[in-house]
Structure 1
């Protein structure tokens, strides 16, 4: 990841994973000598390629009146400095908004001033050429709270403060958003952009998409810009390439072109690039896309043309997928959708065999979901083409729940609904065929 950052222009890396228990949950436990040696090697490599390595500190249930707690953090800071690390970040995000120890209330008027005291103490141990970043407990919102006012009045000017925008994962970030909180904190805030991160309740969302919703003047009004990668390194790098493109030329940034370029350089062939782009279009649920448009993938015109060619979907099947875009005004034609179903199988085949083994592993759960929906759609078309075969309809209804057991999000209920409509149509065709003098409809 550090080498990738160097190639695309990022120049700082923060080590602060919450899934490292010694970083956060068990922060009072020391790292082993083996781990410190690894940190040292990583920091040296980052320095060699022009990337600043920033070592993250955190502290659950920190006692501001217990000298041993402060000493533990200072000890980690000293150990890191001994390995050549010069910059640090104190991460107090996603913590309770009140003191964890009653003794602290007797010394500090509020949590903000206690946290500012802690930051100011740690900054004293910083070398002159080092940077210190702080993620406060309140790191998103309107930026005009009592907590932030107190923090701004008490923090040393050497501390730079992270901010994610109006939301934890902000669909948009504007200069006005930053201006308000920067005024309150008395310094230019550093953007901590929570994209393409996909942890916790977002773990089933792919987040392979371009950065959007960022005003072009942000690099001018922010104290810095950090992007939070997800745990899946190869898929994160596709999205991060678009962030790098935005930061290189925010006024000329084109998300569509940047994403197309990112996919192309992340894959080994045009066939691989087409498969990744196809999957990304269907797995488009992420924080920068509104909930009302997550189903706006490119397959709807073909689906609408398919049903238009058959006189409309069967009324017995009930309403269409909630949240789908408006019906397309397209000529009736079954062929485009039938070709797309074949393409889905080919794209899944390609994705299962990507040359980059990390990207292949990262995409595997979503690839499996895509392959599953391709089977469902193929079986559904087969049932529709053979209305006299009741077992063909059963295959469809048996396959749907098997695919749905994979919770990784690909196109929502698009193919589930389409397949059930095919089953309804096949049943009605079968019933008509059994009536005297009623021909079975020929397939396109």
Structure 2
């Protein structure tokens, strides 16, 4: 059974979505079955850093249009309220939040969220400590005060300052005892970006909060330190029993709205039927649904295989892409890679027995060029733009591999070896992660092998 609240969060760091992207997300949500949208982008200054400032009438008109679209799409639009360095003592700051909440209500918005994540875990104003025993008591008071403004047909969410971990702390227990029962509390699981989440992971936090938490699942978000990781991949590591133990499930995409939708389609499939959810099959269907042709879907999957680094993939498996058997078969056909080239790529899977053969790698290198060309000309302009930095990296690696094979095939041509090293320097200027050092190492080994072959030929008697 699906959770009642199935949300999408616009709550990442970095460039917020455009209004066009937000409307497109609402249409997408209606299509795949999400029913709640939370507006809380960290880099909207009026939402967060300068929260005491009002939105302009132009912005309120845009919010009203978005809320109307959401209502027509069967989606509950949740307006996020944030308050850095909030003063709990005195009425000034509370009145700022009330004014903003009421302005949102005047535009037809009924549901709200108070977001106190990623702030200091202590009072920032000494006067507050004289009024409240601790931060949890103060935050519960603030949430309850704002809830008074929310009509019975609206929903109210709260993101605590401690929003992940074991789930048992004095802070969480105070929230549980003090928060009104109508307040739904977000929780990201054992970690900020949790590799896995199960019903067992929610037991302690449910007891502390005296209510099942609403999952804030930080996938496929790729902000801050993850901005070079693509996260176009299926949802993994969520057990079938998780949803029944939660008060709802919200997925957190990143700034790449169209690319995030590929992963969100797999999340929607999990939410529809967690017991029958199969990540790889869901991702195949998501790629097909997100692109215009099977060829485009295959290109997206090809890139995803190489750009697989994410919190859902164990660190020691980030390089476990499908190229290794063909790379090993290639070098086996040449009696091994040059010893002077040094060790293989750290983190690669252990070599398995292979049949020596150069042909599969040469064919795969051509396929990489074709897939990169397809990605560079995707029919969807937003998806094409989202993927562009990783597509450019794939184009670069395809060129490197082509040049490296050319250097091997023409070992007498010094300039061919120079081309390889020059192209490597250019590709490495792009920090977007595609297969790590796999192709860099392969190309350098080709240069070593070409030099070795050239020197051996030069030493042979005429």
What is the TM-score of this pair, normalised by structure 1?
A: 0.98
Displacement after TM superposition at 1:150 (Å): 1.2
CA distance in 1, matches of 2:42, 2:152: 28
CA distance in 2, matches of 1:52, 1:8: 15
Displacement after TM superposition at 1:21 (Å): 0.4
Q: 1:41 aligns with which of 65, 70, 89?
A: 65
Are residue 84 (structure 1) and residue 108 (structure 2) matched? yes
Partner of 1:317: 341
Partner of 1:203: 227
Partner of 1:53, secondary structure, is strand
Displacement after TM superposition at 1:161 (Å): 0.2
Displacement after TM superposition at 1:180 (Å): 1.2
Partner of 1:110: 134
Structure 1 stretches of 4+ with a deviation exceeding 4 A read none
Contact in 2 for aligned 1:384/1:426 (Cα 8 Å): yes
Are residue 158 (structure 1) and residue 179 (structure 2) matched? no
Which digits, 9 at most, give the CA deviation of each residue in 1:135-155, with x for residues without a partner?
Answer: 000000010111111111111
Q: 1:326 aligns with which of 346, 350, 355?
A: 350
Q: 2:304 aligns with which of 270, 280, 286?
A: 280
Q: 1:19 aligns with which of 26, 43, 46?
A: 43
Contact in 2 for aligned 1:133/1:161 (Cα 8 Å): yes
Partner of 1:145: 169
Which digits, 9 at most, give the CA deviation of each residue in 1:95-141, with x for residues without a partner?
Answer: 01111101001111111111000001000111011100000000000
Partner of 1:95: 119
Q: 2:154 aligns with which of 106, 109, 130?
A: 130
Partner of 1:174: 198
What is the TM-score of this pair, normalised by structure 2?
A: 0.94
Displacement after TM superposition at 1:437 (Å): 3.8
Partner of 2:83: 59
Partner of 1:224: 248
Which segment is superposed worse, 410-419 or 174-183? 174-183
Are residue 356 (structure 1) and residue 418 (structure 2) matched? no
Are residue 430 (structure 1) and residue 454 (structure 2) matched? yes
Displacement after TM superposition at 1:217 (Å): 1.1
Displacement after TM superposition at 1:328 (Å): 2.4
Displacement after TM superposition at 1:66 (Å): 2.9
Partner of 1:441: none
Which digits, 9 at most, give the CA deviation of each residue in 1:406-430, with x for residues without a partner?
Answer: 0000000000000000000001001
Partner of 2:13: none
Higher relative contact order (CA 8 A, sep 6+): 2
Give the CA RMSD over aligned residues.
Answer: 0.7
CA distance in 2, matches of 1:351, 1:414: 21
Where does the alignment leave 5 or more consecutive residues of structure 1 unmatched? Answer: 439-444
CA distance in 2, matches of 1:111, 1:3: 39
Partner of 2:220, secondary structure, is coil
Displacement after TM superposition at 1:37 (Å): 1.0
CA distance in 2, matches of 1:271, 1:65: 60
Where does the alignment leave 5 or more consecutive residues of structure 2 unmatched? Answer: 1-24
Partner of 1:415, secondary structure, is helix
Are residue 263 (structure 1) and residue 287 (structure 2) matched? yes
Which digits, 9 at most, give the CA deviation of each residue in 1:61-88, with x for residues without a partner?
Answer: 0010131100000001100111111100
Contact in 2 for aligned 1:88/1:132 (Cα 8 Å): yes
Which digits, 9 at most, give the CA deviation of each residue in 1:275-315, with x for residues without a partner?
Answer: 11000100001110010000000111110100010011111
Displacement after TM superposition at 1:330 (Å): 1.2
Q: How do residues 338-349 of structure 1 correspond to structure 2 at under 5 angstroms?
A: 338-349=362-373
Partner of 1:195, secondary structure, is strand
CA distance in 1, matches of 2:190, 2:243: 17
